[in-house]
Amino acid sequence: MSSAVDNHAYDAIGTGYARRRQPDPRFASSLYAALGDASTVLNVGAGAGSYEPDDRCVIAVEPSNVMIAQRRPASAPVVCARADALPFPDASFDAVMAVLTVHHWPDRRGAFAELRRVADRRVVLTFDPTVHNCMWLMDYIPEIAQLESARAPSIGEVLDAIEGESVVVLPVPHDCRDGMTIAHWRHPEAYLDDEIHLGGSALRQVDRVALHRGLARLARDLHSGRWFRKYGHLVQHSELDCGLRLVVGARRG
């Protein structure tokens, strides 16, 4: 096994991940619909397998042994490999899916080429950094926005890379089961809980000093009521566009 696989980021930040990142059925429904009638699916950057459909033949690819160890015994078979070096022949699958992973790929160009190579239909759940970075948490920890701007591809890049044909906005529900960084937009007190941080790569990768400085200010604003005066209107919403996008592409010609 190569050192590039051994040193994957989630070997460092993936502990406890599966506890917080449960599939949200609303996201899953959109994702499965986008897969169409594909009967064989490759899940790239599969993590603990939370969005793998159970009514199709699925093979998972995941470079982190820490994440692989958290997969359920009934999960799809998994191969330890990187997105930019998929160990499968051309056109091996009806569809390939990648869920909230492309911003972690060190070689996005190579990885997207691999997605195009192994399947005619490509389904990518990602986020638009320009929208994501407007979420109120970034006012407290702007370093998260800086991190995501540096590593996340634009939606235009994803569209071009997978020969995209559609982009679907996926609002984040207030009771989102998938504990990603933006999931708690209506529950600011949640960010003060270290357990919540286990589900958000940005919360675990951002500079520790910046994180604790921002959260200390958030705690003060919650106590004083300042947060509610500025952002309290959000509690009236059942969902919020935090930038999640489902991008679907297919082979042209």
Q: For position 35, which CATH number holds?
A: 3.40.50.150
Do the beta carbons of residue 136 and residue 110 sit within 8 Å?
Answer: no
Distance CA 43, CA 166 (A): 20
The domain tally of the chain equals: 1
Range of the domain at 227: 3-250
Region 43-61: what's the mean pLDDT? 95
Do the beta carbons of residue 187 and residue 228 sit within 8 Å?
Answer: no
Task: Please give the pLDDT value at position 2.
Answer: 31
Distance CA 108, CA 91 (A): 19
Q: What is the pTM of this model?
A: 0.91
pLDDT digits (tens, 9 = 90+) for 196-248: 887 788 998 899 999 999 999 999 999 999 999 999 999 999 999 999 999 99
**How would you list the strands of the sheet with 119-127, edge to edge?**
78-79, 57-61, 40-44, 93-99, 119-127, 244-250, 164-169
Main-chain phi, psi angles of 15, to 5 degrees: -65, 135
